Amino acid sequence: MAAYRSAAGFQRVLHAVKHVCFSKQRCGVIICRYSTVYDPNEKVSLIIRDFSLFLTCVIKTCKKMGIKTVAVHSDVDSSAVHVKVADEAVCVGPAPTSKSYLNMDAIMNAIKQTGAQAVHPGYGFLSENKEFAKRLAAEGVTFIGPDTHAIQAMGDKIESKLIAKAAKVNTIPGFDGVVKDAKEAVKIAGEIGYPVMIKASAGGGGKGMRIAWNDEETSDMGFFLSGHISDICANGFCWCLQVLADKHGNALWLNERECSIQRRNQKVVEEAPSTFLDPDTRRAMGEQAVSLANAVKYSSAGTVEFLVDSKKNFYFLEMNTRLQVEHPITECITGLDLVQQMIRIAKGYKLQHKQSDIPINGWAVESRVYAEDPYKSFGLPSIGRLSQYQEPLDLPNVRVDSGIQEGSDISIYYDPMISKLVTYGKTREEALKKMEDALDNYVIRGVTHNIPLLREIIVHPRFVSGVISTKFLPEVYPDGFKGHMLTAGERRELLATAAALYVAAQLRSQKFLGDLRVSVVPAESRQWELCVELDKSVHMLGVSRSGNNYTVEIDGEKVEVSGEWNLASALLPITINGKHRTLQCLLRTAAGEISLQYLGTSFKLRVLSKLAASLSKHMPEKVPEDTSSILRSPMPGSVVAVSVKPGDNVAEGQEICVIEAMKMQNSMTAAKTAKVKSVHCKAGDTVGEGDLLVELE
């Protein structure tokens, strides 16, 4: 597959992996995908812990290298894909992360039980925990990552900024100490000038960071009392520089990753390289990233994040002392396998290449596919069972890193990421077109997902032209994401497809094993008059058929639709007026209801015969619920707090309760000023999406 091809100069690196061995005993590690040759006489087993989507590709690599794997998991993950494909599995506790994946005692016991000699922490849970690294070292277990000094230095955002300054790395102007209280925060922010970024000193992953635009917002951020404040460009870019350093003082930078498309300070779409950087800025940024790594004697793969303004001035933000989710796009354009390099470094090998060896071959784009509802704050978690799941791996230059399969459960306990969808091309245009096709061919049923948002991002003219920033989503969708807005031509395409699909289904229902169900039936009709409803508008359509080709007349315009019309397939590849499209039929009922995923967005239509349409007007309509007097959960999760009781008077906008799911808290507020009639939940309850929480009078 072209997305994995390695530059010719790196073939020796891939073959050299056979010399990596901690011993001929059993050891534990998280590794990523390789294409390697291994020595069958060297027997090593490795223990695995992290997100399932990361571990599955790790295990495949280990098998190629002759390395046995041990998966650690919580009880609710006992049927996870990585558990099934690993050589061994050890349960380390119940679902809550504090009792399983963050339970150091349980993990250390698993290491002793399996005789593991090394652990790779992946990019979650204990990956940047210095205490965990210390405990491994005390037991003689190798930590596949940097030493505890580097983890501590870069984990504290205040200390890391001071170290960066000493290493002559550009830093954001701001306050380098600890903010004591909200009053001091407002004072410091006023001196710096708005907007300011307030970040927890030990925060990470985008969750410990907020932007304040005025004194009120700064004062409200009371949970950042141990944080620091920095100036920030109001409409900047976010870039990650991948670095690689060994234990012998050698360090490389592996080019940048563009990470500006974010929601809630968390990345959504990434690409490598960036459209904005020129070679000189890239080199200067890379040299500063390496300088910082050398300053803390870093030895492993790491990521240095920079904020960049419109004038290409760049400023150090933080260093992540671990592998990051989006590392595959760096692998695609450099030909290097980053996890392979981490293992070599941990064993004590020197880097086998110089900075001049690092290429930029082609372009790679990654979309983070989440079980989220993109219509709610650009993505609130969704849970459920994957009733149907099909990855677009039959397309060329497409890579999918996932840890789920059809039948897997998405729970409230962990990150809702389904997969990392990566496409590769010789040019950015080619990579984006492949991403568009991959998203159209990605089948996910049973949970709400963010493919509609991802597809809209990659085809948006502003993104295609490279004019992007960290404010992209709120600027492009100021009123929230609403899905794809159909043009007149696209609306005709959708209506015509629904009509053709309806007729194809009607014709199929008249046959059994290719023959007519009864011998005496009227001759098959070739003309139909249909009524199609879309977005409360009604369209009268004329449909004619010739084989698998349909001609649909809409408002005096003809649309030609053709295809195989395999109604049992999850995908519906068709040709509309000579243009190839891949749609998905999500729902089709006997009442004429059809849901089609078209251009990434799901559209609900209703197709009826002319007679049925004339009779449907006599059917009573369902009265919509008065949502101002009730409060329902916008997502599945657990109730953290309830602030009211029956009889209380609440004002519009007052917090009523807090729902938490997948590391995200959502404050629920009153839609109007009223008295509380009843409360249907309490702290600690588990609720589903749409469950009734509170009623108002």
CATH number at residue 216: 3.30.1490.20
Residues 354 and 465 reside in one and the same domain: yes
DSSP state letter for 79:
T
CATH number at residue 604: 3.30.700.30
* Residue 163 lies inside a defined structural domain of this protein: no
Which one has a higher pLDDT value, 145 or 49? 145
Torsions phi, psi for 161 (to 5 deg): -70, -40
Residues 373 and 279 reside in one and the same domain: yes
Residue with tokens 């941990």: 346
* Residue 89 lies inside a defined structural domain of this protein: yes
* Residue 145 lies inside a defined structural domain of this protein: yes
Q: Say whether pLDDT at 14 is over 80.
A: no
Encoded tokens for 392: 């677009």
Rounded to whole angstroms, how far apart are CA atoms 192 and 184?
Answer: 12
CATH number at residue 139: 3.40.50.20
Comparing 22-31, 148-157, 563-572, the range with the smallest average pLDDT is 22-31
Residues 287 and 413 reside in one and the same domain: yes
Peptide bond into 96 cis (omega under 30): no
pLDDT digits (tens, 9 = 90+) for 407-448: 998 888 888 899 999 999 999 999 999 999 999 999 999 999
Comparing 19-33, 133-147, 457-471, 658-672, the range with the smallest average pLDDT is 19-33
Residues 587 and 552 reside in one and the same domain: yes
* Residue 387 lies inside a defined structural domain of this protein: yes
Residues 645 and 606 reside in one and the same domain: no
Residues 313 and 459 reside in one and the same domain: yes
* Residue 32 lies inside a defined structural domain of this protein: no
Residues 329 and 196 reside in one and the same domain: no
Q: What pLDDT does residue 273 have? A: 96
CATH number at residue 671: 2.40.50.100
Torsions phi, psi for 598 (to 5 deg): -130, 125
* Residue 132 lies inside a defined structural domain of this protein: yes
Q: Any residues with CB less than 8 A from the CB of 204 and at least 6 apart, and which?
A: 128, 155, 318, 320
Using only the alpha carbons of the chain, give its radius of gyration: 28
pLDDT band at 582 (very low <50, low <70, confident <90, very high): very high
Encoded tokens for 138: 């005390």
* Residue 547 lies inside a defined structural domain of this protein: yes
Torsions phi, psi for 173 (to 5 deg): -60, 140
Domain boundary among 152, 185, 202: 152
Q: For the chain, what is the domain count?
A: 5
Strands 142-143, 118-120: pairing kind: parallel
Rounded to whole angstroms, how far apart are CA atoms 87 and 46?
Answer: 9
Q: CB–CB of 107/139 below 8 Å?
A: no
* Residue 499 lies inside a defined structural domain of this protein: yes
Residues 203 and 262 reside in one and the same domain: no
Comparing 102-106, 356-360, 427-431, 622-626, the range with the smallest average pLDDT is 622-626
**Is 322 annotated in the active site?**
yes
Residues 130 and 182 reside in one and the same domain: no
Nearest Cα neighbor of 600 from 498, 400, 452 is 452
pLDDT digits (tens, 9 = 90+) for 171-188: 877 776 667 677 777 887
Q: Look up the domain containing 62 and give its range.
A: 45-152
Q: What pLDDT does residue 207 have? A: 47
Rounded to whole angstroms, how far apart are CA atoms 333 and 5?
Answer: 9
Comparing 121-135, 166-180, 185-199, 243-257, the range with the smallest average pLDDT is 185-199
Residues 435 and 461 reside in one and the same domain: yes
pTM of the model: 0.82
Q: Say whether pLDDT at 291 is over 90.
A: yes
Residues 178 and 268 reside in one and the same domain: no
Domain boundary among 92, 121, 152: 152
Q: Say whether pLDDT at 258 is over 60.
A: yes
pLDDT digits (tens, 9 = 90+) for 211-242: 777 777 777 654 444 444 544 444 456 788 99
Domain boundary among 571, 595, 617: 617
Backbone CA torsion sign across 179, 181, 186, 187: negative
Task: Report the percent of the chain where pLDDT is more than 90.
Answer: 51
Q: What pLDDT does residue 204 have? A: 47
Residues 197 and 101 reside in one and the same domain: no
- 322, 344, 492, 545: the catalytic one is 322
Which one has a higher pLDDT value, 663 or 457? 457
